[in-house]
């Protein structure tokens, strides 16, 4: 396995890092405090090509390979300090765009993918419910067939991008056919009658990525809104989650690298007791641990991308990477705050925000506990795999 970037990848990454640093960080402390999503930044992300990476060229995208996408995510994660914006990009790409690329009909691809690549449509993924989180398929949202349409009823919660989304990937179950085989996926436009979105849900981190509940009250959608065939929703969801957890922490590599560089610089220049604090093992060893976590995280994610490019099975590898990288992200955030001392706890230094933003990584796209259960099942240790 050779993960050295090609000259083209290296050039693209340099462009992305510079672009992200200059264009995506304006007024971030205030926007984070107020939970403000930046549509201007979203437009810029689309213009630089990030939203088109997994989309085929005939629909306005780049059809990039997985390793190229991972290098791009790390680069933009290094330059962009707005982790909330990047999380919205992930939610759009992996849980919105990718299932349409994989399972969408020709008509759905033609209708949705070009404006999604241009940033004109924002996607959201509606699966979790107030009564079903990790046990995702215990949903109560129903899709009843009535003639040539389906009528959706139910409530989805923790829907990232919901307040700003134009298109929702909604999962619902046939009321007469419960269980995996009764689940279907639908593409539901925001203006569909019966669909409404709650006020944004406040969060401790990723505040610039809005989240809300989606209510479906006798919401009619045509049969053409089916994503894949009827009853194939479980397969759509499982594939989507595997793809999402493969890439969603790619930008975290960039954030971890940025925080590491800031800690090294701070430890070299901050003096206490007559010497730079980097001279104390309590500080230097902590920073070395940050470096080890970053290198191990990078190897796990790039190997995962390498496997995807070769159509190898990645269910266990994605689960293991999701656990390790998300927990490394949190620990390195704690270390960065500790290295900076009281300064690290202030909003001005923007270190504490990375820590707050990292915490959700152990929850979204399947909790760390679920990923461990999935891996344990694949290793033959349990008789039942994880639902999410």
SS3 call for 123: strand
Is 166 in the same domain as 150? yes
Question: What does the pLDDT look like over 24-47, one tens digit per residue?
Answer: 999 999 999 999 999 999 999 999
> What per-residue confidence (pLDDT) applies to 180?
78
Cβ atoms within 10 Å of 310's Cβ, excluding its own: 9
Question: What does the pLDDT look like over 164-223, one tens digit per residue?
Answer: 999 999 999 999 887 778 999 999 999 999 999 999 999 999 999 999 999 999 999 999
Is 383 contained in some domain? Answer: no
- 186 - beta bridge partners? 170, 226
Is 23 in the same domain as 143? no
Is 75 contained in some domain? Answer: yes
Is 370 in the same domain as 248? yes
pTM recorded for the entire structure: 0.96
Domain that holds residue 302: 237-378
- 150 - beta bridge partners? 145, 221
| Angstrom distance (rounded) from CA 293 to CA 273 | 29
Q: 386 pLDDT exceeds 70? A: no
Question: What does the pLDDT look like over 212-265, one tens digit per residue?
Answer: 999 999 999 999 999 999 999 999 999 999 999 999 999 999 999 999 999 999
| Angstrom distance (rounded) from CA 54 to CA 209 | 21
- Residue 362 C-beta-side C-alpha neighbours within 13 Å: 12
Question: What does the pLDDT look like over 309-364, one tens digit per residue?
Answer: 999 999 999 999 999 999 999 999 999 999 999 999 999 999 999 999 999 999 99
Is 113 contained in some domain? Answer: yes
CATH of the domain at 254: 1.20.140.10
Q: Which of 129, 244, 317, 352 is catalytic?
A: 244
Domain boundary among 122, 156, 188: 122
Is 318 in the same domain as 213? no
Question: What does the pLDDT look like over 86-116, one tens digit per residue?
Answer: 999 999 999 999 999 999 999 999 999 999 9
Domain boundary among 67, 90, 122: 122
The torsion angles phi and psi of 90, rounded to 5 degrees, stand at -60, -45
Is 387 contained in some domain? Answer: no
Q: 135 pLDDT exceeds 80? A: no
SS3 call for 179: coil
**Is 244 among the residues known to form the active site?**
yes
Q: What is the mean pLDDT of the chain?
A: 95
Strands 275-276 vs 142-146: parallel, antiparallel or unpaired: unpaired
Domain boundary among 212, 231, 250: 231
Is 207 contained in some domain? Answer: yes
Is 210 in the same domain as 322? no
Structural domain tally of the chain?
3
Task: For residue 11, give the DSSP letter.
Answer: H
- Residue 292 C-beta-side C-alpha neighbours within 13 Å: 8
Cβ atoms within 10 Å of 285's Cβ, excluding its own: 11
Is 92 in the same domain as 216? no
Q: Which residue has the higher pLDDT, 262 or 382?
A: 262
């Amino acid at each position: 396995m050779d993960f050295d970037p090609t000259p083209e990848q290296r050039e693209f990454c340099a462009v992305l890092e510079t672009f992200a640093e200059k264009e995506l960080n304006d007024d971030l402390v205030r926007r984070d405090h107020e939970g403000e999503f930046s549509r201007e930044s979203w437009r810029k992300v689309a213009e630089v090509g990030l939203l088109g990476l997994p989309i085929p060229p005939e629909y306005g995208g780049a059809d990039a390979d997985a390793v190229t996408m991972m290098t791009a995510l790390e680069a933009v994660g290094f330059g962009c300090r707005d982790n909330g914006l990047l999380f919205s990009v992930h939610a759009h790409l992996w849980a919105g765009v990718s299932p349409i690329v994989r399972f969408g009909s020709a008509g759905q691809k033609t209708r949705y993918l070009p404006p999604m690549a241009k940033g004109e449509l924002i996607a959201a993924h509606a699966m979790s419910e107030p009564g079903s989180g990790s046990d995702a398929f215990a949903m109560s949202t129903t899709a009843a067939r009535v003639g040539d349409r389906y009528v959706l009823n139910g409530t989805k919660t923790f829907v990232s991008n919901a307040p700003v989304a134009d298109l929702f990937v909604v999962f619902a179950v046939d009321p007469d056919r419960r269980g995996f085989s009764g689940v279907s996926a639908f593409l539901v436009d925001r203006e569909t009658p019966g669909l409404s979105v709650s006020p944004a849900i406040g969060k401790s981190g990723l505040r610039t990525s809005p989240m809300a509940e989606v209510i479906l009250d006798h919401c009619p959608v045509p049969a053409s809104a089916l994503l894949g065939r009827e009853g194939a929703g479980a397969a759509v969801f499982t594939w989507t989650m595997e793809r999402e957890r493969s890439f969603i922490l790619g930008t975290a590599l960039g954030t971890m690298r940025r925080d590491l560089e800031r800690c090294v610089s701070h430890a070299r220049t901050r003096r206490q007791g007559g010497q730079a604090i980097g001279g104390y093992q309590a500080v230097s060893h902590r920073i070395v641990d940050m470096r080890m976590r970053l290198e191990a995280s990078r190897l796990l994610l790039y190997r995962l991308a390498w496997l995807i490019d070769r159509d190898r099975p990645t269910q266990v590898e994605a689960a293991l990477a999701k656990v390790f990288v998300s927990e490394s992200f949190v620990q390195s955030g704690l270390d960065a705050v500790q290295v900076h001392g009281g300064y690290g706890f202030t909003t001005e230094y923007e270190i504490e925000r990375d820590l707050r933003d990292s915490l959700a990584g152990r929850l979204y796209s399947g909790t760390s506990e679920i990923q461990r259960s999935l891996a344990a099942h694949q290793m033959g240790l349990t008789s039942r795999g994880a639902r999410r």
